[in-house]
Chains A and B, each alone.
Chain A
Amino acid sequence: MSEVLNLPHIVKEPAEPGEQRTRRAFLVAAGAAGLAYTAALAYPIYRYLASPQEMEAAASAVTEVTLKDAQKLPKGSVLMFKFGTAPGMLIHHEDGRWIAMTAVCTHLGCTVKYEADQDRIHCSCHGGVYNAYTGANVSGPPPRPLKLYKATVGDAGVNVSRA
């Protein structure tokens, strides 16, 4: 809109110094008004489009989740769950240990898979491999380990919290 207000500067004759100063002041004021106007239009539109991010931000602030009846998970199997907004995995190892960690590959964000037969975590997207006990990145492109959660087994379920 500011350009609209700036348009009448087609006056061709050389202006007096004082006149030039007032014209300059006018153009600055018009430009500022145009900017304020544009911002007043853009702000609601930005907030509107950003609404889901804000809702998810609230959801992802979750620090613990209780997985009902997860203590019945057989050995050598995995339970995928939602931790806040992102996927997580709870592994019940053959040796009886319970391990919970994020299931988002640190490479490009695919959801990883627990492979019981090889006792490892594999990402199908680009072949990343993680240790199924520590989350350490073992081979392939992942730059960082998977983050571990704390898993507490109870009578009614398994409680998973940020370590």
Chain B
Amino acid sequence: MTSKTASLYDWVDERLGLSELAAFARHKQVPVHKQSFWYYWGGISLFLFLVQCFTGVLLLVYYRPGAEAYESVRQITFNMHFGWLIRSAHSWSANLMIFSILVHMFSVFFMKAYRKPREFGWLSGMALLGIASVFGFSGYLLPMDELSYFATKVGLEIPAAVPVVGPFIANLLRGGLQVNEFTVQRFFALHVVVLPALFLPLLGFHLWLVQRHGNAVPPSEEAKPLAERKAAPFFPNFLVKDLAMWLVSLNILALLASVFPWSLGKPADPLVPAPAGIHPEWYFMSPFEMLKILGNALPGEAGEIAGILFFTLGIVLWLLIPFYDTRKFAGSRARAAHYFGLLAVFALLATTVIGYWTIR
């Protein structure tokens, strides 16, 4: 460094504490072991979220909520240069983001990374997944085509099935008794203002926790003596690999978005019957199918209430896993948690496959 740049650095450092940051980066270590691959998935999810912010703002430049929603998406898709690509990237990236968050969640689960002191990391991550799925649900309506119309109509039947307060909540979300321009307008407010306002601070908290506690190591590594464990510096070794994964993700996204552009259906029309073969997005397929199976076993309201109880119970158990499986070394609780995870993966995969199998 020349003396001028050195003195400029000193000037900024004195005011912003850059050298503390640099020291922090120098000392940060990332464990290296057979399962290190799974450490990338949180970063990939973060990257795809950034892509969502960026492409979302680009769509916001031309999107008009309310009665003109469909027409504005049609303009974006067919009239604006590369509008189809921006929209396709936003849709694909949304799907990839949900996928990578799920991979991240299951890897955390099976590596037991939720154990003390990382309970808040687990809880905030689950909240982020919850918000991400509401992002997906609300964003799906915004083009206001046939598919989004029926998806929203059906999706809002789930809160409507909650006893006593359900219909009230569903009408509030819907902005009336029917899915119409009022629904789009409020889903838009939810999608671009309310959800980001909830998501961003929570994401900051989640990332801060990761910095505070560092990467968790799986039990197989924990069992080894300290001297046998390997680690690599975060900066630049892990960061370079992390960014390389971001580049890979971006390339996959660009390929999917341009080769398989997201389509736009016919405008939503409540008088037109639902199209054949209509089905939820893949990440809602499993709950949809489980509700269908339960509804067949227990017809009527009993089935609906049983379904909601079943989901609530499953999610609560899943959320509380750090408080159940607490012991550092393997025991019956650790094994039970592991089997619970396997059961969850199996149930999700099986119902998703059945769901796609039975589409007509």
Residues of chain A at the chain B interface (Cβ within 8 Å): 1, 4, 7-8, 10, 44-45, 47-51, 54-55
Contact = CB atoms under 8 A, between A and B. Distances in A.
A4 B240 contact: yes
Given A4-B244, A44-B81, A48-B58, 8 more contacts: A1-B247, A4-B240, A7-B239, A8-B240, A10-B236, A44-B85, A47-B82, A51-B79
Interface string B74-113: 0000011111011000000000000000000000000000
Contacts of B79: 51, 55
A57 to B, nearest CB: 13
A48 B81 contact: yes
B61 interface: yes
A48 B33 CA distance: 45
Interface residues of B, number: 15
A98 B247 CA distance: 64
A7 B247 CA distance: 14
Nearest to A51: B80
Nearest to A37: B247
B63 to A, nearest CB: 13
A51 B75 CA distance: 11
B315 interface: no
Given A45-B58, A48-B86, A54 B81 contact: yes
A7 to B, nearest CB: 5
A122 to B, nearest CB: 36
5 contacts: A45-B58, A48-B82, A48-B85, A49-B58, A51-B79
Contacts of B83: 48, 51
A66 to B, nearest CB: 27
A4 B206 CA distance: 25
Contacts of A44: 81-82, 85-86
B309 interface: no
Contacts, number: 36
A47 B61 CA distance: 13
Nearest to A1: B247
B243 interface: yes
Interface of B: 58, 61, 79-83, 85-86, 236, 239-240, 243-244, 247
Contacts of A50: 81
B81 A51 contact: yes
Contacts of A8: 236, 240
A50 B83 CA distance: 11
Nearest to A10: B236
A69 to B, nearest CB: 31
B243 A4 contact: yes
Task: Identify the interface centre among B82, B236, B240: most chain A CB within 10 Å of its CB.
Answer: B82
Contacts of B61: 49
A45 B240 contact: no
B49 to A, nearest CB: 18
Contacts of A49: 58, 61
B80 to A, nearest CB: 4
Task: Identify the interface centre among B236, B239, B244: most chain A CB within 10 Å of its CB.
Answer: B236
Nearest to A8: B240
Nearest to A50: B81
A99 B83 CA distance: 43
Contacts of B82: 44-45, 47-48
Task: Identify the interface centre among A1, A10, A44: most chain B CB within 10 Å of its CB.
Answer: A44
A50 to B, nearest CB: 7
B81 A7 contact: no
B240 A7 contact: yes
B64 to A, nearest CB: 14
Contacts of A4: 240, 243-244, 247
A39 to B, nearest CB: 14
Contacts of A55: 79
Task: Identify the interface centre among A1, A4, A10, A54: most chain B CB within 10 Å of its CB.
Answer: A4
A8 B236 CA distance: 8
Contacts of B81: 44, 47-48, 50-51, 54
A51 B81 CA distance: 6
